[in-house]
Chain A
């Protein structure tokens, strides 16, 4: 079955620490990959997306993600987190453009000031 797994349920970092959140998807051919963020009390917002081309994609707020096809991974990174990055982060994949998104279970990030 098509699935997405996120390695960590809860990550706690201090400000200025580097962040890497893992995401793996099950094999299913061509994929479109997304990271969404949900700040406390707000809705899901698109951080970045990958459809094709350069496997290193840059998103908003200094986030980036790297698609590694051989590892079925799309990890999210940020070199230096801020307290305002405290949120829940969701990885999602679709196996056809415009098709349903399959979500991971989410990773809660807490950044200590």
Chain B
């Protein structure tokens, strides 16, 4: 069964550094999403992406964040200058024809 994959599984970085989180969505999916879950809190929507542009973004997704689909398979989330409060589990999801979203295993980001 096809799955969404994410790398790395755990990323540790210093405050102020840039990080790129990578996702490989399911191959025939066209809609892509990033969510995050801060420890002990709800899973929160960050951004959705379709047809090479952002469809929707949350208030969390400020100028420090960007997304890109650099080739036909990867979908990346970049945080330009990480803050302590960016420490969270980041989940990528994809869907086909705007139906159910399928999630990857997540990347745990720790900002020191």
Set of chain A residues within 8 Å of B93, measured between Cβ atoms? 101
Q: Which single residue of chain B is at the shortest CB-CB distance from A92?
A: B43
With an 8 A cutoff between CB atoms, is B11 at the interface? no
**B101 interface contact, C-beta 8 A:** yes
Chain A contacts for B44, CB-based, 8 A: 103
A34 to B102, CA, bound (A): 11
Q: Verify B48–A103 contact, CB threshold 8 A.
A: no
Indicate whether B103 reaches chain A with its CB closer than 8 angstroms.
yes
| A43 x B103 contact (CB < 8 A) | yes
Q: Is the interface of A mostly helix, strand, loop or mixed?
A: loop
The A-B contact count (CB < 8 A) is 53
B48 touches A99 (CB 8 A): yes
Q: A97-B98, A101-B33, A103-B42 are in contact. List 15 more A-B contacts (CB 8 A).
A: A36-B103, A43-B103, A43-B106, A98-B31, A98-B55, A98-B95, A98-B98, A100-B33, A100-B48, A100-B56, A101-B43, A101-B101, A102-B45, A105-B41, A106-B42
| A positions within 8 Å CB-CB of B | 34, 36, 42-46, 49, 51, 90, 92, 97-106
Question: B residues engaging A (CB < 8 A)?
Answer: 4, 31, 33, 35, 41-45, 48, 50, 55-56, 58, 91, 93, 95, 98-106
